[in-house]
Amino acid sequence: MPEQTKLWYLQNFNLLEGMKPEMMEEMNEKTKMTRSGKKEIIYFPEEPSDTIYFLKEGKIKISRVTEDGRSMTLQLLGPGEIFGESALLGQDIHENIAEVVEDALICSINRDMFQELLASNPALTLTLSINKFIGFRLRKIESHIEDLVFKNARERIESFLKRYVKTFGKKMIDGWRVRPFLTHQEIAELTATARQTVNTILNELVQQKKITYSRRVFHVKDSAWLTD
């Protein structure tokens, strides 16, 4: 990938907006931009946690294997988000799995190099931005885990769909739209439910004229549903 293309991506990454031009050039030299296909694993548990990842395109699923061997999805990440932040929290190894859900463009940088860049920012605006982002991420994970523990299957699925639309959707004149949409199996895995349950609830929402959907697009027709 041409260097000017990588620099353009970095310059248009929201979290890096406060970075000075000379720091941006330095980061451009120290980062690596790669494309990863669907189902590709970025890292597994117990692997060294020494890299910070910036997601520019696509979607990444962060999950954890429980003691009984089940996979529990913690979060679905989209463009503009960082992951692998455990490296900044002092953890030497990963506890989670990062898997590509939708073909992704990812910028990565070594933890030590990134910390040096943070330390060289006298205004600390970038550091504060990163810390705020990580705090927000942890609160979203806590909310998702609460859904899994305290809500039934229908509530989990509807709660996930609403968060999905608010995170990845675009408000249009006729409601909200998300492109592309997830498969029923992917939603089931993200909500710890059965594929058939997802299918039933989606079809009921269609009958209630709250949504329409296809593999290409998820359309919320009734915006009030998002705030129910």
Domain ranges of the chain: 3-149, 152-227
Q: State in words which class domain 152-227 has.
A: mainly alpha
Residue 2, preceding peptide bond in cis (omega within 30° of 0): no
pLDDT at 68: 75
Burial of 198 (0-12, 13-18, 19+ CB in 10 A): buried
130's enclosing H/E stretch is: helix 125-150
Task: Write the pLDDT tens digit of every residue in 80-123.
Answer: 888 888 877 778 888 889 999 989 999 898 888 887 777 776 55
Say what the pLDDT of residue 128 is: 54
Q: Averaged over 191-215, what is the pLDDT?
A: 92
Q: Does the pLDDT value for residue 137 go beyond 60?
A: yes
Q: Could you tell me the fold of the domain covering 3-149?
A: Jelly Rolls (2.60.120)
Q: pLDDT category, 2, cuts 50, 70, 90?
A: very low
What lies within 8 Å, CB to CB, of 147 at 6+ separation is 155, 156, 159, 160, 191
Output the pLDDT for position 19.
66
How many percent of the chain have pLDDT more than 70? 79
Q: For residues 189-203, give the mean pLDDT.
A: 91
Query: Which residues, at least 6 apart from 216, have a Cβ–Cβ distance to it below 8 Å?
Result: 179, 180, 181
